[in-house]
Amino acid sequence: MSLDNKYIDDSILIRFLTGDLDSENRQRVIAWLNESDDNRKRFDSVEAVWVETGKLNPQPIAVDTNRAWSRMSDKIQMQSEIEQIKRRGRSLYDTRKVRTIWGSVAAVLVVVIGFIGIITSQMFPETIMYSNKGNGVISDTIPDGSVITLNSGAVIQYAESDDNERIVKLRGEACFDVVKAREIPFIVDTDAGGVRVLGTKFIVRSVNENRMRVDVERGKVEVYALSSNRMDTITSILTAGESAVVNGSVIKQVKQLPDAFFWVNKRLVFSRTDLREVFRIVANRYGVDVDIKDESIYNLKLTASFRADSAEEIVAIVAETFDLRYYVDSDVIIVELSD
Partner 1 sequence: MSTSDISGNGDCLFSEQEFEVIFKEHYANLCSYAYSFMQEQEASEEVVQETFFKLWTNRNTLNIDTSVKAYLYRAVRNASLNVIKHIGIREEYKRYNQEDINLNEQQDSDMADMGELEVVVRRAIEMLPEQRKKVFIMSRYQGLKYREIADSLNISVKTVEGQMSKALIFLRKELSEYLPLILIYLLIGQ
Task: Report the residue number, 159 or 314, with the smaller CB distance to partner 1.
Answer: 159
Task: Report the residue number, 155 or 216, with the smaller CB distance to partner 1.
Answer: 155
- Stretch of 111-119, 153-161, 250-258, 277-285 contacting partner 1, by CB under 8 A: 111-119
> Total number of residues binding partner 1 (CB under 8 A)?
49
Segment holding 129, helix H or strand E:
strand 127-131
Task: Report the residue number, 79 or 247, with the smaller CB distance to partner 1.
Answer: 79
The yes or no reply on residue 119 touching partner 1 (CB under 8 A) is yes
For residue 88, which phi and psi values (nearest 5 degrees)?
-65, -45
| Minimum CB–partner distance for residue 37 and partner 1 (Å) | 9
| Minimum CB–partner distance for residue 74 and partner 1 (Å) | 11
- Letter for the amino acid at 271? S
Q: Which of 4, 31, 38, 102 binds partner 1 (CB under 8 A)?
A: 38
| Minimum CB–partner distance for residue 2 and partner 1 (Å) | 17
Task: Report the residue number, 19 or 287, with the smaller CB distance to partner 1.
Answer: 19
Helix (H, G, I), strand (E, B) or coil at 65: helix
Site for partner 1 in 44-103 (CB under 8 A): 44-50, 52-66, 68-69, 71-73, 75-76, 79
Site for partner 1 in 132-171 (CB under 8 A): none
Rounded Cα distance between 99 and 146, Å, is 20
Buried b (16+ CB within 10 A) or exposed e, 158-193: bbbbeebbbbbbbbbbbbbbbeebeebbbbbbbbbb
Rounded Cα distance between 223 and 251, Å, is 8
- Letter for the amino acid at 182? R
- Stretch of 39-47, 200-208, 222-230, 281-289 contacting partner 1, by CB under 8 A: 39-47
Angle at 272 between CA 236 and CA 258, to 5 degrees: 55
Axis crossing angle, helix 23-35 with helix 37-54, rounded to the nearest 10: 120
CB atoms within 10 A of CB 63: 8
Query: Which residues of the shown chain bind partner 1 in the complex (CB under 8 A)?
Result: 9-11, 14-15, 18-20, 38, 41-42, 44-50, 52-66, 68-69, 71-73, 75-76, 79, 115-116, 118-120, 122-124
